[in-house]
Chain A
């Protein structure tokens, strides 16, 4: 009976089904080979014994994970990544919020700003990082003159262990500010006029309007953008390679992905690196699910 039903369906629908299969075939094969299988493979390999020289040969269950959790460099790299991503988001969002408040007024040059705001986002990160290396160098960049004007010692942030991560944060924030401010600007246009009219009638000050109307109404957008930006920033890799290579003394400014790259392709410790990648995956998934749930609730896709 079931079989018969299938056959009648097949006779009637086979042109549709075959067309569907043919249309999705190229992508499905590529997803299978380069996405689904690698994910399973990484999970499996993370449970093979570690050690330099590609993959270990024996099954070791959680050995790599215990090694990872006992490794002070691992914790340092996690801390660096969290500090980096959090600082980038806080700085970029605060500045962007201010910029968006400014732009929300009638300001000439708004079109110019819109054009410029996306530029850091479009620019090749490797090239931008190289330019920042020059900018931060007190000899070849403009900072030398600034240091002298304030009577400070001319330091290169990238060569100080305590400051190198700060320099990376600066570059990360530079990239995010423009696009974040445009998001806020779009958010402002959706705020209900009535609230402001009512507040004006009651004689609320500009500060009170900002604190009690704009910020609360914008907080879902702020929160959503913060999580999105955090996820993107936590994957920082290009700028680390180009600007510090995790230095000046490793792992002073190393991030998660850069450390993964080093463990895998400089130490060739693939089993260990796979465990590392799995930890990254779990954290990434948790954040992404959080973001999607917030996005479904609060963000209207009308860009």
Chain B
């Protein structure tokens, strides 16, 4: 075969490759596209059959209705408050614990670290019933406490941060010690500033877990005004499905996901680093 023919063949192969890749990417992106397409349609057009691939007349009515449908704004506030608070506590406690394991002398701390890390082997589902009863006993059902306190301790950020803190050169911590800094100051002034990317990744993963959590809020929250976005969507589905307000539901879904997508776009590097470890953890 002469060289021209070969070049033509590789060119065709490249075109085919790109087509297949585009098809797969298109299928992966389809749900996002269809959610937007439906959310931008008017009440009347949503009912039209067959469904159009593009809204005939773009309207934001679905979005404003999803936000006004009284509780939805409230779901948002609940999600933001509880996800931020639980993430902050989770990271704060994990940094303290990880620093202790990595840099403070204590007899038998290896066993203790093992006891903490094995909790990653315990599925949340196993702890569900007793924790529900603890919440009931404390009168924490239908409160922010139930959504913030039990998830505030998690072994995964401890695991990640111990690995990170162990990589910090001992000389740096010792130098701070000589300057008279106690452990807390060494943590805040030396260890944390040197670990910012890892902390960012772990924080985003913790936040993702809190924001997307479904089972625990579903169990401990019953009052409409205390629902977070995921279980608020479940409620909205029950209410709106009978009325076939798919534009409102899709707008609600997009609004629920928007902060994650925006955070992901701006901090993709840290998300990917964290997800990488998270997916390996399983």
Contacts and interface: CB of A to CB of B under 8 A. Distances in A.
A140 interface: yes
A45 to B, nearest CB: 7
Nearest to B155: A31
Interface stretch (B1-9, B57-65, B166-174, B271-279): B271-279
Interface in B249-270: 249-250, 252-254, 256-257, 260-261, 264-265, 268
Nearest to A274: B129
A116 B119 contact: no
A134 B246 contact: yes
B277 A237 contact: no
Interface stretch (A22-30, A56-64, A208-216): A22-30
The number of chain A residues touching the other chain, given as a range, is: 35 or more
A229 B280 CA distance: 9
A142 B53 contact: yes
A299 interface: yes
A126 interface: yes
A232 interface: yes
A123 B94 CA distance: 25
Interface stretch (A69-77, A101-109, A190-198): A101-109
Nearest to A301: B280
B52 to A, nearest CB: 10
A127 B250 CA distance: 8
B264 A122 contact: yes
B72 interface: no
Contacts, number: 279
B126 interface: yes
Classify the interface of chain B: helix, strand, loop or mixed. Answer: helix
Contacts of A235: 123, 125
A121 B130 contact: no
Interface string A157-175: 0000000000000000010
A200 interface: no
Nearest to A224: B280
Interface of A: 9, 13, 16-17, 19-21, 23-24, 26-28, 30-31, 33-39, 41-42, 45, 95, 98-99, 102-103, 105, 107-109, 112-128, 130-135, 139-142, 144-145, 148, 174, 177-179, 183, 227-229, 231-232, 235, 237-238, 241-242, 257, 260-261, 264-265, 270, 273-274, 277-278, 280-281, 284-285, 288-289, 291, 295, 299, 301, 303
Interface of B: 14, 17-18, 20-22, 24-25, 27-32, 34-35, 38, 46, 49-51, 53, 93-94, 96-97, 99-101, 104-107, 109, 112, 116, 119, 121-123, 125-132, 134, 149-150, 152-153, 155, 158, 182-184, 208, 211-212, 214-215, 218-219, 229-231, 233-234, 237, 244, 246, 249-250, 252-254, 256-257, 260-261, 264-265, 268, 271-273, 275-277, 279-280, 282
